[in-house]
Structure 1
């Protein structure tokens, strides 16, 4: 059930303790993909899993601004601090839990959110009346994950399948030509670059022309299956905290 489409009485009738909270970002994705790429992907995966899952699950509206300051030189990028992001996630999960949806999978579409999400889900589970785990869709697509860059083959393929009208196909060549081959500038296993503009001319990492709609369909299927498996595990888990040793 999508909370955004439901009435409060519909929501009250939901017979589940499971919820999905999509989170992403509003940030540059090169000249060819929309600023909303990350939260669109997270919401799409969450809704597909809710549709395919055997039991009922609630899908919360997405949190559309994340930890994205590394893209700040590109117009349209919005960001919040990690502290603000963690507080936002924690309070929304607390809201869900107050209605009985206290087993929450936070479905993430943005790499910059990952450290903060791990921290807040741990704190929620240890200190609040909820159990929360993070799930990042592009980590759950098998061997495809190795091609994850930024607005590169994976995200472009995903969008070509799910939101083809938002991909500027006439700019794919421009996106490819201004892209970097990899993320960051590395020396002695340390990344010297703090902002994407230091190593990518147009914000793209990877070749978007290598991501077609057929691949995007496979990506969505893999992420959806993985998320359904995770929902099963979360539903069955004993979430009480272990006693002191």
Structure 2
């Protein structure tokens, strides 16, 4: 007997193995793998912000397209001073490139080898992106290996999509969320976007009474190793969360989910 897919849990961790086996055999089986980090986000947001947001967004998208959500990659690549405050800050525990690539490669190739048709990596930590790309490329090679001289891999084989959720925020939404001008993605760490999303999705994890007002980080155009800690604001945030609100978070959430859902349906040929 096959379980009604509409009554199944969205998270794979809550699904039994036999129901999973039957679901994977379907024509459009799609798994979303959230990716985040364990990284300081100032005094007002939790260390797991990146994984929490990517997982929540993944579950919202999955419920709309009939996909399933894997447990997140909760540790990410090293925090960079110009995008995450720096790996030297207390509370940030990271993976090096080889460890992240190896972990993600194992997960992606594992799902694809079991018959998952589409694997979507939903990234929530800026520094992860290129290493997740490498992992996806290697994993596809693992499961779509082509003997020498046999030509390209089968185009009907499994597909991997990689994306970062902030790339789906439109200019119109940015103008509403940042009425005084968008400071740029490079310093949006612990700032208005993440804080507003958390206020909308997980308000119990946000301590706005601990948020600090300060100027945005003024960082050089180069990376220095070892880092100069004085260049990171004392809060660890690269911009202040001033003006954050649950209403802005709701706008961001609903707009990103709508755009992302449309992209996945169109690109993967999923039933709408």
TM-score bracket, shorter-length normalisation: 0.7 to 0.9
Any residues of structure 2 matched to 1:67-146 within 5 Å, and which? 67-70=77-80, 71-126=86-141, 128-129=143-144, 130-143=158-171, 144=174, 146=182
Contact 1:22 1:61 in 2 (8 A): yes
For the residue of structure 1 that corresponds to 2:235, the secondary structure is coil
Contact 1:66 1:79 in 2 (8 A): yes
Q: CA-to-partner distance for each residue in 1:198-243, whole Å, 9 max, x for gaps? A: 3322210122022211110111112212221232234239xxxxxx
Contact 1:18 1:235 in 2 (8 A): no
Partner of 1:23: 35
For the residue of structure 1 that corresponds to 2:14, the secondary structure is coil
CA distance in structure 1 between the partners assigned to 2:32 and 2:227 by the alignment: 30
CA distance in structure 2 between the partners assigned to 1:36 and 1:162 by the alignment: 14
Give every structure 1 segment of 4 or more consecutive aligned residues whose post-TM-superposition deviation is greater than 4 Å. Answer: 191-196
CA distance in structure 2 between the partners assigned to 1:196 and 1:2 by the alignment: 41
Paired residues, number:
228
Contact 2:112 2:143 in 1 (8 A): no
Any residues of structure 2 matched to 1:194-209 within 5 Å, and which? 195=227, 197=229, 198-209=231-242
For the residue of structure 2 that corresponds to 1:72, the secondary structure is coil
CA distance in structure 1 between the partners assigned to 2:256 and 2:228 by the alignment: 26
Partner of 1:241: none
Partner of 2:16: 7
Unaligned runs of 5+ in 2: 1-9, 81-85, 145-157, 176-181
Contact 1:21 1:61 in 2 (8 A): yes
Q: Cα 1:229–1:183, aligned 2, differ >3 Å: closer, same or farther? A: farther
Q: Structure 1 residue 225 and structure 2 residue 258: aligned?
A: yes
How far off its partner does 1:20 sit?
Answer: 0.4
For the pair shown, the structure with the greater C-alpha radius of gyration is 2
